[in-house]
Structure 1
Amino acid sequence: MRVIFKTLTLVNFKSLRDITVNFGERTDITGDNAIGKTSITEAIPWLLYGMDALGSKLDPTPITYEAEETKVSLLLEVDGKELMLGRSLKKNKTSYYVNDVPSKAGEFNEVVARLFDKDLFLSLYNPNYFPSMHWEKQRSMLLQYVTSPVNKEILKHMPDEQRKSLSALLKKHSLEDIKKIHAENKTNLDKKYIAAQSKTKTLKEQLDYISPTVALDSLKVEESQLLKQIKEIEKVTDSAGDINRRINTLNTRISSMLAERDQMKDDFQRLKDEEIQGSCRVCKQPLIEESLQSAELEKQERIKKFKENYNVHVKLRKELEEELAELEYIDVSEQLEKVRELEQEREPLLQEIRNHGQYEQLLSQVNLAQATENETLKSLNESIFILDCVKAFKAKEAELQAEKVQALFKTLSVRLFEEQKNGEMKNTFEIEMDKKPYRKLSLSEGIRAGLELRDVLSQQSELITPVFVDNAESITSFKQPSGQLIVSRVVAGQVLKIEGVEAE
């Protein structure tokens, strides 16, 4: 879209009482300081947006004289169609006009908004406006005309290993999600790896503490020999023990039987002395002769059985006494002492053998802990690698995007990103000329930089508007920008002069 200014009419606008400007392809505004050159260029943004050329609030009312109403109207041409816009301020009340028809503020603003975006128009109209915006807004405005590189394009410029890893992951997740997943993994695995290292170290220290000094086979041979000697002695002591225990058992039983014998003698004497009663022990009735004979026979039968039991008891006791007489107590104290000495000699060997078992068990734990540590480190390194891949991807994306943006400019350079200490790419925006940031450019350098920048915005947005160059006396020459050119120069001692030149 091409926007052309045709006629600007100012009535009581700041120091200008009544003036009409007929714009040409180039319009030169010259004169001494403080005679209204800048007021002419400020009238257009005030008409459209109620602000000055830098987007600040503007009071257009006269200062040096009294006026009832301030009015600005502009006849412009948009792609061959004329449009008259007007704004007036009377007693702090603003009135709007579209093609000389009074309009509401909303209707007027809608007409202007359909023509062009405010920030874009002011950036094209005044080369100093774009650098005055916040850097994030500058960046956003410029990047909206530059397509971001697609994943496939970025991956193509990355090393093989990084490209393979990210290509697979990007099929499932976005880059930001990949970063979140592996950032969390890294945090968890960092802690897990520290714990795994500590466990491995502790187990290794324990392993070193119980590390055997003698070979297990040698220990087993020596211990086996001692055990063999012990068992040989124990065969003797066990046999002797059986005999000695038998002797003790026999002595105990014989002693008990002797006591039983004495008791039996007493019992037998009482049985012999027992008298046959002439009456029944129960009913007390006198017994007949036949009953007395039966009682005597019964007593004799009891005496007989008692003697038989006594003889069996005596016979058994004599057999035991005969067995005891054939046995001889064996003293094994020397053998037991020898066994004790051998056991004392064997105990350190057994402890060393147990140490070997503990060592093998602990070694297994160390190997498992080391494997866990290695696996954790592997997983940690994988997440670190993926995070590095993400950083590399973003860095390459920034590089490719910067190249696309940089390709739009001829003399200026644009910085869109800056690398942080952690390798992350942070958004920024800086216009530079000859490696100097815009804020440090001289007035003439700033004008040239601003014109190149607004021409890039004009070309990318496909919007051509007039451009106003203030303080043109400070620059000897500059490239003709696209669109109408309005130039303001200070000429000492000269009255306000406006010359519109049409294109040849």
Structure 2
Amino acid sequence: MKIIKLKSIHIQNFKGCVNKLISFGELTKIYGANATGKTTVFDAFTWLLFGKDSHGSAKFDIRTLDKDGKMIDNLEICVEAILSVDGEEYTLKKVQKQKFVKKRGTGTTEFQGNVNEFEINGYPKSEKDFKEFISGMIDEKIFNLVTNPIAFTSLPWKEQREILMQFVVEKPDAQIAEEYGDKFLKLIPELRIASTDDILKKYTKAKNTLKEKMTEIPARIDEVSKQLVTVDVGALEVEKAAKETALKKVEDKLAGGTEKSKEINAKREQVMNLKFDLSDISNKETEILMEKRRGVASECNEVEEKLMSLKRQANSIAVDIESAEKQKESAETDKKKFIDEWRREKASVFPEMKTFLEYTPLPELAEDDLICPTCGQSLPKEVREKRISDYEERKKNDEERYKKSKAEYEERYISDKEKFEKNRENNLKSITEKGQKAADNIREYQKIINDKQQELEAVNAEIAKFEETLKEKEEIIDSIPAVADMSKNEEYQKISEQILMLENEIEEMSKETVGKTELEAKKAVLRDEISDIVAKIKSADNSKVKERIEELEKEKAEVGQKIAEQEQMIDLTEEFIREKMNRISSVINEKFKVVSFRLFENQINGGLKECCECTVNGVPYSSLNNGHRIIAGLDIISSLSKLNGVDCPIFLDNAESISKDNLPDVQSQLICMYVTDDKELKVEV
């Protein structure tokens, strides 16, 4: 574990702190009233390392203000700290100066920004080198998390969750499922090839498609059920027998006597049999027509099912096109962004080398320099020669120092320019690659769009084709008559003629019967009623319709079973996620002594929703008082420090919220800041 300790910090002209030197121990307590500069110490430390305040913001004022609230110019802001990193000490220094430039042709100066200077162990460093040193020592994000007790809980819950997941050694989902024995046996093959999210999407989509199909089946059953003919055949047979008996009595009366009646009845029976033959012929022809209608109706159902399938397919393709168009728009935005970045980078130019200051030679040795200041006489010869020799030596050394400085300046410029050019070249290359990738993505998504549009056009063409086919089938059904036309049936016509001849004979034989007109009328009525009953009995065959209804009911049951199977897989997947998250929660919470984390919550519909909530003894962090929040924060820092293998100084603000007896024992260096009545900072090590 890397151990970083803050040994001391020297703050000058930073946020109102004119000059303050603080030394730190393992436990350092800083006392002071509000606005006396306690937080300024932490801000100065983070500004030195990362150029930000203790809350991670780079936009904050560090320059001292006068009594009117205006910034005081021409003050150098300086923060210098001594750090111990694994026992080796480093002195880090950062100075900020204001840059003023005199306006040409005027006596006024103009502020042109701040300039930061950096040192490590007394050696001047560029900002880049300084930042590289700091990042090599510790990552900024990790530093914030292990130095500030409220840093972690201030993050969005998704970032908190992402950090906590680093405590878990990842295993493939299939391997985790196998550890539960037979519980998730059915799910393991799916987990080997897909994530839980993809599995849920797969079975949810299948379930929704099946539910859509399920909603269509009752309507189809209802439509077919309308073709059922509701007839009580038994009652019709009884009624028919009664009518036939009545008809016979009427015909007997018309016959006028037993013998004549027998003859007439024989002819009538012959007529009845012939009519039955006519009915059979008519029914057979009608049945042929009905079979044709049923065949075409079945074809219509198949076409309708295909149409529904094609329309669902078209909707799915349209969704894919919309998704690809959004991805293409995103790629086009990225491409434009990279083009702009490339142009800015391409336009960046390393500044021209400024002219090195002209050499100013040492003042020539004057005669007065060779005269004794006490007596005013010329110095002895050996002394004069020594002074002249020393002057020449200084002059020579001064010229050499100037040449060396100038050469170093030019070499540093060349080196910096080469680094700039190389860095720009690398940046251009990286941006070009990103832009090319974005362009490739645009082409790829456009190809997907084109392919999908062609596919959609093909499907729409199929839809149009099947709609036309459906229309043709419906026209065919409408063209098939419900009752057969027997006018061209020779056998039917021949029997009809026989019936007509016999009925004429019967009529001639029955003329002598008393009340003939009334009986004939009654006879005609009974015949018509019997014919109607026979027609109703013939039309009462619902076997084909019932068979189709049974098929649809069976299909409904099968779809219902499939829906149940999809829901079973969804429930099993959600149960696996729940078990996995319980296991992960347990592993993570074992890493903490005080706090626990709730990583998911159950939904009303039985599903899971990801979350990340810190609790202490079941109480949410947001409901804790300030003291318990600090204790929770220290527990989190302790675990995160172990996770990242680093031990940093912890700055504990508002430490008065915790009684001295309840101050947790932590391994890291602790810097506690207390709000007191002290008008000036008081430090206790």
For normalisation by structure 2, the TM-score amounts to 0.53
Partner of 1:497: 682
Instruction: Specify which of 83, 93, 98 is matched with residue 115 of structure 2.
Output: 93
What does 1:5-24 correspond to in 2, within 5 Å?
5-24=6-25
Determine whether 1:455 maps to 2:638. yes
Is 1:487 aligned with 2:508?
Answer: no
Per-residue Cα deviation, 1:364-392 (whole angstroms, up to 9, x for no partner): 00111111111121222222222222322
Post-superposition shift, 1:153?
Answer: 5.8
**Do the aligned residues in 2 keep the contact of 1:54 with 1:132 (CA within 8 Å)?**
no
Q: CA deviation at 1:9?
A: 1.9
Pair 1:333 & 2:499 matched: no
Distance in 1, Cα, partners of 2:267 & 2:642: 107
- Is 1:214 paired with 2:397? no
* 8 Å CA contact retained: 2:233, 2:540: no
CA contact (8 A) 1:30 1:494 kept: no
For 1:233, the equivalent position in structure 2 comes to 270
| Shift in Å, 1:361 | 0.6
Query: SS at the partner of 1:35?
Result: coil
Paired amino acid for 2:234:
V
In the superposition, relative to structure 1, how do residues 332 and 204 fare at CA in structure 2: closer, same or farther (>3 Å)? closer
Q: Secondary structure at the match of 1:6?
A: strand
Q: Once the 2 structures are TM-superposed, how far is the Cα of residue 131 of structure 1 from its aligned partner?
A: 2.0
> CA deviation digits over 1:27-72, x for unaligned, max 9?
2222344332222222111111112211123322223585621111
Q: Which residue of 1 aligns with 2:456?
A: none
Q: Secondary structure at the match of 1:165?
A: coil
Deviation at 1:346, TM superposition (A): 5.4
C-alpha distance in 1 between matches for 2:149 and 2:554: 65
Q: Deviations over 1:230-286 (max 9, x none)?
A: 896259999xxxxxxxxxxxxxxxxxxxxxxxxxxxxxxxxxxxxxxxxxxxxxxxx
1:393 and 2:395 are equivalent in the alignment: no
Letter aligned with residue 24 of structure 1: G
Q: Distance in 2 between matches of 1:490 and 1:365?
A: 86
1:39 aligns with 2:40: yes
Q: Conserved in 1, the CA contact under 8 Å of 2:173 and 2:192?
A: no
Q: How does 1:71-90 map to 2 (within 5 A)?
A: 71-90=78-97
Work out whether residues 3 and 78 of structure 1, in 8 Å CA contact, stay in contact via their aligned partners in 2: yes
Residues 53, 129 of structure 1: 8 Å contact kept: no
User: One-letter code of the match for 1:26?
Assistant: L
Larger deviation, residues 394-403 vs 57-66:
57-66
Matches of 1:235 and 1:122, distance apart in 2? 108
Counterparts in 2 of 1:148 and 1:230: CA distance versus 1, 3 Å = farther
Q: Which residue of 2 aligns with 1:164?
A: 185
* C-alpha distance 51-361 of structure 1, shift in aligned 2 (>3 A): same
Identity level (%): 28
2:28 partner SS:
strand
Contact 1:54/1:128 (<8 A) preserved: no
Over 3 Å counting, the alpha-carbon distance change for 1:222 and 1:458 in structure 2 is farther
1:30–1:497 contact (8 Å) kept in structure 2: yes
In structure 2, C-alpha distance between the alignment counterparts of 1:58 and 1:488, rounded to whole Å: 21
Counterpart of 1:164, as a letter, is L
1:28 aligned counterpart, secondary structure = strand
Q: Aligned-pair distance for 1:393?
A: 2.5
Greater C-alpha Rg: 1
Summarize deviations over 1:157-195 as a string: whole Å, max 9, x none: 87956x133123223433232222222222221111011
Counterpart for residue 654 of structure 2: 471
2:196 paired with 1:175: yes
Gapped regions of structure 2 (runs ≥ 5): 99-113, 248-264, 276-500, 508-519
Alignment check: 8 A CA contact 2:267 2:506 kept:
no
1:362-373 equivalences under 5 Å are 362-373=545-556
Alpha-carbon contact 1:5-1:74 (below 8 Å) kept: yes
The alpha-carbon deviation at position 200 of structure 1 amounts to: 2.2
CA contact (8 A) 1:220 1:353 kept: no
- Alpha carbons of structure 1 residues 217 and 379: separation in structure 2 relative to 1, 3 Å: farther
How far off its partner does 1:444 sit? Answer: 1.2
Quote the residue 2:65 is aligned against: 63
Kindly provide the amino acid, as one letter, of the partner of residue 410 in structure 1: K
Equivalent residues of 1:146, 1:404 under 8 A apart: yes
Q: Between Structure 1 and Structure 2, how many residues are aligned?
A: 404
Aligned to 1:445: 628
Supply the distance in 1 between the matched residues of 2:41 and 2:503 (Cα, whole angstroms): 133
Other-structure match for 1:155: 177
Residues 335 and 138 (structure 1 numbering): CA distance in 2 closer, same or farther, change over 3 Å?
same
Cα drift, residue 484 of structure 1: 0.8
* CA deviation map 1:452-479 (0-9, x unaligned): 1111211222211111112222211221
Q: Secondary structure at the match of 2:234?
A: coil
SS in 2 for 1:127: coil
* Alignment partners' CA distance in 1, 2:155 and 2:667: 22
1:146 Cα shift? Answer: 2.5
**1:121 and 2:143 correspond:** yes
Once the two structures are superposed, the pairs formed by residues 350-389 of structure 1 within 5 Å of their partners are 350-356=535-541, 359-389=542-572
**Preserved contact between residue 72 and residue 87 of structure 1 (Cα < 8 Å):** yes
Classify the secondary structure of the residue corresponding to 1:128: coil
> Cα RMSD between the aligned structures?
3.6
CA–CA separation in structure 1 for the residues paired with 2:591 and 2:526: 99
Output the amino acid matched with 2:204. Answer: A
Deviations 1:98-119 (A, max 9, x none): 3332222222222222222222
Give the Cα–Cα distance (whole angstroms) in 1 for the partners of residues 579 and 657 of structure 2: 41
Q: Which residue of 2 aligns with 1:141?
A: 163
Measured at CA, do residues 354 and 231 of structure 1 come closer, stay the same or move farther in structure 2, by a change above 3 Å?
farther
Q: Where in structure 2 are the equivalents of 1:259-274 lying within 5 Å?
A: none
Mapped contact 2:214–2:559 kept (Cα < 8 A): yes
> Would the alpha carbon gap of residues 351 and 97 (structure 1) be closer, same or farther in structure 2, given more than 3 Å must change?
same
Shift in CA distance, 167/231, structure 1 to aligned 2, threshold 3 Å: farther
The equivalent of 2:399 in structure 1 is none
The equivalences for 1:102-121 within 5 A come to 102-121=124-143
Q: Is the 8 A contact 2:598 2:611 kept in 1?
A: yes
